[in-house]
Structure 1
Amino acid sequence: MKSNKYIVFIAALLATACTPDEPSTQSAGKSLLDPPAEGAGLQYRMTSTIASGTESYGCQLFQVPPEGLVIRGQDVVFGLGGHHVLLYRTPYKEIPSHDEQGIAVDALTEHDCSQGATARWKVDAVLGGSESFGSVGMLHRLPDGVGVIVEPSTVLVMSTHYLNTTTAPIEVDARINVYTMPREDLQIEAGLLYMDNHVLRVPPLGEAAARMRCPVPADVKVVSLQSHMHARGVSFDAALRAPDGTTTSIYSTTSWQEPPVRELDPPLVFRQGSTLDIRCNYRSSETRPITYGLSSTDEMCQLIGPYFPKNEAFERCQDTSGAPSATWVGSGKASGTETVTCLGEALKGEKGVGYAYYDCVHRACPAVAAEVSALVRCHEVKRGKECAQRCQGSDLGDCAACLAQACGVEDQAACDATCG
């Protein structure tokens, strides 16, 4: 899981008195969020001191009760100047004493996550929070009998992002109320869609689009939708293409800073065999190239929403076999052969995968999207497997050669694809 980036001014703490045993209809108001009533849920809270003129990413770990949780709703508040507070699920069953880099950390207190929560801790799912100041949380209210299961003793990561533009340190407070139900009342398990397009780039002083498609492997019902971009984002659009070819717009906004949450009552049905298509449009006034990343100096393109019944292939943009299945659609004129050549040169010229590599994908014509995407997916998989050692070394050409060999079938298919 990746996650994510954001900017606004820090000045005050949020507020709202919420009924203690029910998710409220608002997440910002007149007072801080009170915890749920005893037996109705839990509150996860992070307080931080943000130094003047700094951007802060904080994490804190919590452990759920031995009996686990079934989440039926959430309320979220965080300080003005924050752009997100997120709650992640981890595979840990006890609080680690060291992070994934082997660094000792008091994880039960607020600690630095400048490289992102997912860089410091293992994360296998998003369990809620909010990507938009003043909006309802991602899992604000689920239908009766529908809930998200958190297994006993699971460790959670709470993550915040703030920017202090003032001349003095500021105390900030983020709170997530998790409202629960008895396990015996659960009828349908829910999940959280977190569709994240990392294949993006924005040129200096230019405009760009990032478009990604994901299949819907089984019928699901979506409860709400919201987008997430950074400051270069000028518009976001999501559409659902039904199996019969009919395309329907399901979400649209021109607000990167406070994207609206579209609550769907009744839930919107995504039919098996449909395709979910998201597009982010960017405009940059900066003289440097911009790629995907966690900081407000980077960019993102996400569609987020709770749904049921839970289907991990749907959440992770996978096919029914569990294989990655994202399709990235370029907006240029490059043929398959030209794109393969471009990707190879990018791999030889930059450590890891960056602007040049993603630029190749976006310069490709739309007609070769399937073949080029299959090659990109192969590169991503093989960089962590057969070619891991060679791609972690200093010889970029050696990495490129390994990937060309390991992805030979996909390479040839992309070369054969034409724009005509």
Structure 2
Amino acid sequence: MRLTAIEEGHLRNGMPGTIGIAGLFPADGPPFDLAWLRARVRERWGGLERMSLALRPPAGPAAFSGHRWAVRPFDPAAHIASDDRDLHTLLTDAVSRPLPEDRPLWRLLVTERATADGERAVVLLAHHALLDGRSLETLFRLLMDDAAPPRPSAPGTPPRRRPVRPATVGRELRVIGARGRALPAPAERYAPSVAVVRLDAPVMRAARRQPEAGRGATLNELLLSSFAGALRARYGPLRAWPAGPAPLFGTVPVDLRGRHDAQRLGNGVTALRIPLPVDLDSPVARLRACQEEVAAFDHRCDAHRAILPPLLATARAMPWLAEVMARRLARPELTTSLCTAFKWRDNPSRLHGSTLARVVPLPQLATPGTANLCLVHCADTYTLTVVSHLRDGDAELLGGVVARELASVAACEAPAARPAREVRAR
């Protein structure tokens, strides 16, 4: 089975490609029994063909021949193991190294002392060519004690979409190709780093009520605006940066699955670029600017649904084109920061009787000059993970500044001083 162009691109972009999700459980519970966990995985995932797909190399020259998926017998024992590393070390190692290709590209690891508080963790890792972030979330939900069995995709054709005007497609193509800028280069060499930041729940609840007299803020809007504020605090306004007047774009993965295929595994997202409002000096002004951008996502996704099928069909027929596209999109001035957020909605969730305390996401490591962020709300906890490819330790620094920016948003009472349209893309 040939890989899609998106899957092929994830293999050819020059990076390890590992993403993940971790569930943390209280320290006072019993250790997870690996035999029980393997049986649960066989029960819940054994019928999902995606979890049995192993990678086969191109049969001919890589420029003209793509990788293929081969179905292997489902073998949980080959994928599930205990691990004595703490969670931070495990995640840092995971994003920096590709998964071995001698079996399907996923692992499920159990560490009994994941944090300094003694929390236990179950960590699902996968190559992005096999699974995207929404797929990891779907699979992790299926492991929980009370999980409903996966719903098969609805038969028939997908629902009809509203027609897309050529002007909308043209505008989106200009945004996709617009010149941006990378994060300022460090004086030292580039190095990967990972930070997991526990955010204060009362602060997050207050921030989500902003802007005052407004509708409130989504997790994505808060993450984008607080990251813009963190970059301003870290590097100054954009006019003080090198590389001229180009905007700094954040990229938001958006799921294109619908109700008819909501639990489909694989890669079902697109990426929408927005200019981050680094030049606005008010936290609420930055939030409003991001809300304006996010409000346009539905129409922009319609444009992507029109653009992607012919583009990906062409790239799938010419694997060299998939590689060119993937490596171009991986450049730091085009994809500087992936920012995504989601809420774990099944509360309480339990695994073998232990209550899920919080969820820790793991974005992928991108090229030097980038930082990727993911924010998750689970029960009454908020966890931010930063994966940076800047200076050694910059992930922790950025995570701390984002947390302070969120506190600044929560503390704001006055309306924004300047209209958000000042930073809209031109």
TM above 0.5, yes or no, is: no
* Structure 1 or 2: more helix by fraction: 2
TM-score normalised by the chain length of structure 1: 0.31
Q: Which has the higher contact order (CA 8 A, sep 6+)?
A: 2
